[in-house]
Amino acid sequence: MSFSIILPDGSKRAFEQTVTISELAHSISTSLGKAALAGRVNGQLHPVEYELSQDAEVAIITDRDEEGLNILRASAAFVFEVAAKKAYPELRLGEHGTETDGFFVDTDKENQIKISELPELEKAVKHLIKAGEKIEAVTMSRAELQEIFRDNAFKLDLLQAEASDEITAYKLGDFIDFGFDILVSNTGKIKQFKLLSVAGAYWQGQSSNPMLQRISGTAFFKKADLEADLKRREEIRERDHRTIGRDLDLFFVDPKVGAGLPYWMPKGATIRRVVERYIIDREVADGYQHVYTPVLLNVDAYKTSGHWAHYRDDMFPPMDMGDGEMLEIRPMNCPSHIQIYKHHIRSYRELPIRIAELGMMHRYEKSGALSGLQRVREMTLNDGHTFVTLDQVQAEFSKILKLIMDVYKDFDITDYYFRLSYRDPKNTEKYFANDEMWERSQSMLKKAMDDMGLDYVEAEGEAAFYGPKLDIQTKTALGADETMSTIQLDFMLPERFNLTYIGQDGEEHRPVMMHRGIVGTMERFIAYLIEIYKGAFPTWLAPVQVEVIPVNLDAHSDYAKKVRDELNKRGFRVEADLRNEKLGYKIRESQTQKVPYTLVLGDNEMKANGVNVRRYGTEEEVAKSLDQFIQEIDQDVKSYSRKK
């Protein structure tokens, strides 16, 4: 027997007998042999024990390769399972897997694992790592594994999904589990390991299934990488809008009364109201007519629009009104605004017609996908639709984009980029079938961006089913890439709903419909703002802009009320802390609640008709007259709290 192995650098190695990937790596260099985690053989990943016996192209996978980190984390999940099963023999294991930043293992027992138990489990895992025990890949029959897991219905379910009767499993001592692609050959290769959190997770993501306990963790090859990751996670925790929303009493979601249905507390409602008023004022000034349309619509409208065919799984079931009428709680506002347009005969002299609404919508989101304000079942979209002639498309596109960028400036949103989202021509199920329409509309968007001199990326397969769009992608405070705003061209819905306008020639013509969202839904946008600002909102957005604190309740409360009332009368959002608490406690509380201005009022302030001002995040106190302070905060609000 003789065969050749071709390495990534093009060099060849000849062998006269079978060699494993590990032996191949050692033959290249001792250090590579020690670092080898797996091998890519003719493009397919295999464990280091895999035997080579014929010509092949082979690359050794180490900690320098992306696959190496996934292998490490899958191995860490496996070793955690070993430690957890040893600590809790009655434990039933469910699904496991790797994620972008770690791994998870689903577990189940009568008294679920608590977060306080993670340190002991982590010690047990590290003991196994230090021992450098062998992890062995074994091939087992389905029947053998069914016998091993006869008391674990979750694993039996997973076994049913296995395609073959011969299944690769992994063994460490007496412990065996399956469902892993490739693991390291020895626990000692798992260098840096950390258990992170405990959360509930429905079995296989279905809310009708039992709730298991999901243990999450991570692993790295280098200590510095783990430390950097933990620091990043701490930053994420500090910015998590769910945590800040709870601490600042902005909103809550209670699954007992409706999962994915946020309740806006007074302070959160204030922020939302400021944003909504701002958006409406900007849109009205830009020529939009604001409307209100019903949250219910005949399901036939969504069948005509194509939403029923394309998004039915994301819509709530229709309600049978008993007389043949089927009403749908709306998942989007387009058909409603089309009805507004159709209500009158339109002339070319009226176009562009711009219709906007803060429209409430509902989406049928699975329980496992819901998250704070980011993923909800009820949302209010900053929605708008413009009806234009063909030769008005480019000018209207530029006008909408300018409005979006002006809004971003006021909210101090600077980290964004433009993405032209096209259809995937091969996906005939998702996209409206009209090649001419797609080519025409896509080229129009591209030309508009080129004429404005703006850089953009192009993304095939990201368009809406009825037309291409410009997506404005932002980076959230947690590092995720998210679509904030969109402008979409639509030749399809005007056709389907038979929309017309009377042209200069007296004949009927078909308008082009442009869909646009400036800041998306109120829920997601305010979640974004909470995380960007860490809850320390700029003065113009802050739910409480000024906290007034008297030094002595008996001596200074009346003056504190006078200052509060004067500021409230001028339109500022002000509270006076008249609780019977120590002064230091009240000042700290104002800082904890991230109020932009704290005014401390004592004898000197009362005599001078002044205030003692402390800005959020500082310990400096500045004495000013009340008039001076009013000028300062007025300028702060009018400038959208932009730094000079």
Write out the binding residues. Answer: 334, 385, 515
382 touches 315 (CB < 8 A): no
How many other C-beta atoms lie within 10 A of the C-beta of residue 40? 18
49 class by beta-carbon count within 10 Å (0-12 exposed, 13-18 middle, 19+ buried): middle
CA distance 528 to 541: 13
- Binding site for Zn(2+), by residue number, is 334, 385, 515
For 15, the token pair is 């062998």
**Complete edge-to-edge strand list for the sheet that includes strand 610-615:** 574-576, 546-550, 597-601, 610-615, 622-625
Cα of 10 vs its chain's centroid, Å = 43
CA distance 348 to 137: 73
Q: Burial code of 455-485, b = ≥16 C-beta within 10 A, e = fewer?
A: ebeeeeebbbbbbbbbbbbbbbbbeeebbbb
Go through the chain and tell me how many residues it has.
Answer: 644
Q: What angle do CA 248, 254, 260 make, to 5 degrees?
A: 100
The DSSP line for 354-398 is: EEEEEEEEE----GGG-BTTTB-SEEEEEEEEEEE-GGGHHHHHH
Identify residue 337 by its one-letter amino acid code. H
Helix, strand or coil, per DSSP, at residue 89: coil
Contacts 24+ apart (CB under 8 A), 132-135: 132/186, 132/187, 132/188, 133/172, 133/173, 133/186, 133/187, 133/188, 134/172, 134/185, 134/186, 134/187, 135/75, 135/78, 135/79, 135/170, 135/171, 135/172, 135/183, 135/184, 135/185, 135/186, 135/187
Helix, strand or coil, per DSSP, at residue 486: strand
CA distance 297 to 173: 62
For 286, the token pair is 């830009």
CA distance 398 to 411: 20
For 90, the token pair is 């009655």
Identify residue 492 by its one-letter amino acid code. M
